[in-house]
Amino acid sequence: MKKLIINETERALLFKNGKFLRVLESGKHRIPFGANAEVLNTEMPIKSRQAQLSSLLANDGFKSCVTVYEIGDGQLGLQYVNGRFACVLPRGSYAYFNTADERRVDVIDVTKPDIVGIPEAVVAKLPSSVVTSIQVERFQKALLFFDGRYERTLGPGSYHFWKNDIKVSAEYGETRLMPLDVSGQEVLTRDKVTIRVSFVCNYRVTDLLRAVTEVGNYTYQLYTLAQLALREYVGSHRLDEILENKQEMSEFIFARLREKQNSFFVEFSDADVKDIILPGEIRNIMNTVLVAEKRAQANVITRREEVASTRSLLNTAKLMEENATLYKLKELEYLERICENVGNINLNAGGDVLTQLANALRGNK
């Protein structure tokens, strides 16, 4: 005889000569010679290496100490132990030893993708092998498709669907105002100068479903539409006209986009040219022209100031010639300025001081 100790969380299947005899409960057992015991964990479904479950269930003693769950096609089993979710059981037959734990299995129909009647806390614990999850941000909408057919529009939130024979997919769209940046477009002007233009426009999708289902890759088509509007304007204007009327270019492109917006189920709010980059040779020429223009303007201003200054002196001279008192005051003003910068002045006793100073300025003796 052999001794065998079985723990509280274990049961044993006793076999002799390859034939199942009975179930051994927890405790100490004596195993007769020629027999063997297969010890199993009571928390796991019964899987014997020596016998199929169907043959074990044919034994009344075995059947009385186990509970059997059948999960069919298109079904899943959600197992709860003592009221807490434990695991998912896929299609098949499962038998558990009866223990003090309260065990139940809820059989769920998963032939349809929607998960209904299951608490969110339980859904969050389901493995990715049985659930498809879709996360929609607060600034998004999502178009839900079953096998490529539109089902409904999802708002912000978390959504979960069963993985089955129906393919679940989602197409996301922004509810925010979105930028469309067209950068570094090399375009030939009317006078055959190649320039690079960058501009940006902002739009909002007005009908996401139609934009996705009726317009192939609508973001790319919006980009192409903006490109064509840009090329249309630049190709019909000379370089000087483009540089002088940058705002006009923005308004033209915006008008073209607004004309086509309903066809793409969007709404453009604005469009503006960011940069116009000229070739190196053209930049050098324009810099040279700009320098020459500024020099010419500076010369004109200088000449204008010289003329104004001369005219002012002439007017002052006429006034002084006509008014002796004014002449005298002007003479005193200059004497004051000179005295501020002269250290010593020698005068004789002939005549008053002002007369002698005036004569000194005139060079009289």
Of the two residues 178 and 327, the one the predictor is more confident about is: 178
**138, 136, 128, 174: which is closest to 158 by C-alpha?**
136
Non-local (6+) Cβ contacts of 10 within 8 A are 26, 39, 40, 41, 42
Beta bridge pairs of residue 144:
152, 170
Burial of 134 (0-12, 13-18, 19+ CB in 10 A): middle
Mean pLDDT is lowest, of 117-126, 147-156, 350-359, for 350-359
What burial letters (b/e) apply to 60-99, b meaning 16+ CB within 10 Å? eebeeebeebebeeeebbbbeeeeebbebbeeebbbbbeb
E strand or H helix that includes residue 155 = none
Mean pLDDT for 25-50 is 91
Mean pLDDT is lowest, of 21-35, 233-247, 292-306, for 292-306
SS3 readout for 300-331: HHHHHHHHHHHHHHHHHHHHHHHCHHHHHHHH
**Percent of residues, the chain, with pLDDT higher than 90:** 58
**183-226 pLDDT tens trace:** 888 888 888 888 889 999 999 999 999 998 888 888 899 999 99
Q: How far apart are CA 54 and CA 52, in angstroms?
A: 5
Return the pLDDT at 155: 94
Return the pLDDT at 341: 66
Q: How far apart are CA 162 and CA 78, in angstroms?
A: 13
pLDDT surpasses 70 at 48: yes
Domains (range + CATH), the chain? 2-109 (no CATH), 120-174 (no CATH), 178-278 (3.30.479.30)
Mean pLDDT for 324-339 is 71
**86-139 pLDDT tens trace:** 999 999 999 999 998 999 999 999 999 999 989 999 999 999 999 999 999 999
**354, 164, 183: which is closest to 273 by C-alpha?**
183
**238-266 pLDDT tens trace:** 888 888 888 899 999 999 999 999 999 99
